[in-house]
């Protein structure tokens, strides 16, 4: 066992306008890190009133598992803006009128093999007709090269 970057930033995704902070336990077995599979990140925007349900669903599907912790995520409050077009069936708002809604941006990392399950879980509890989300690969390896490389 060795001490490994307790509470420090492990990677920076500045290229996508996002700084991700991952906290690992103070003592991490070297073998556990090197055996990790490639990781991806989910970013999804959800009405604030539904944020807890989305965080719970993605965590239950395997997102946010870090060491001896589960359901790890980051959330940021903001304002979602959209205009429903003809043919839309908006949960909030009226067709052809701009709308602003208090929303939460949720970020969580997950093993790449869990992508379909994590996205399906998020969409199953999201109240919008067309949720805004993105997924992308991340490099969660430690600076000494242990762990997965994206």
> What are the pLDDT digits (tens) for 62-119?
999 988 999 999 999 999 999 999 999 999 999 999 999 999 999 999 999 999 999 9
What residues pair up with 138 in beta bridges, in sequence order?
A: 39
pLDDT band at 141 (very low <50, low <70, confident <90, very high): confident
Supply 48's token pair: 């604030």
Give residue 67's pLDDT.
86
DSSP annotation of 100 reads E
In this structure, whether the domain defined by 33-138 belongs to CATH 3.30.70.120 is answered with: yes
Q: Per-residue b/e over 90-114, b at no fewer than 16 CB within 10 Å?
A: beeeeeeeeeebebbbbbbbbbeeb
The pTM of the full predicted model, rounded to 2 decimals, is: 0.73
Closest C-alpha to 43, from 29, 64, 23, 60: 64
Domain boundaries, the chain: 33-138
Cβ atoms of 96 and 84 closer than 8 Å: yes
């Amino acid at each position: 066992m060795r001490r490994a970057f307790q509470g420090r930033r492990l990677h920076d995704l500045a290229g996508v306008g996002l700084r991700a902070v991952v906290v690992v336990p103070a003592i991490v077995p070297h073998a556990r890190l090197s055996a990790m599979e490639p990781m991806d990140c989910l970013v999804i925007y959800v009405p604030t009133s539904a944020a807890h349900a989305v965080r719970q669903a993605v965590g239950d599907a395997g997102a946010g598992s870090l060491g001896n912790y589960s359901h790890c995520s980051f959330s940021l409050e903001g304002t979602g803006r959209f205009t429903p077009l003809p043919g839309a069936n908006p949960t909030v708002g009226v067709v052809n009128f701009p709308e602003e809604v208090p929303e939460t941006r949720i970020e969580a990392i997950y093993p790449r093999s869990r992508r379909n399950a994590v996205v399906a879980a998020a969409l199953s509890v999201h109240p919008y007709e067309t949720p805004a989300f993105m997924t992308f690969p991340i490099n969660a390896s430690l600076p000494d090269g242990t762990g997965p490389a994206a």
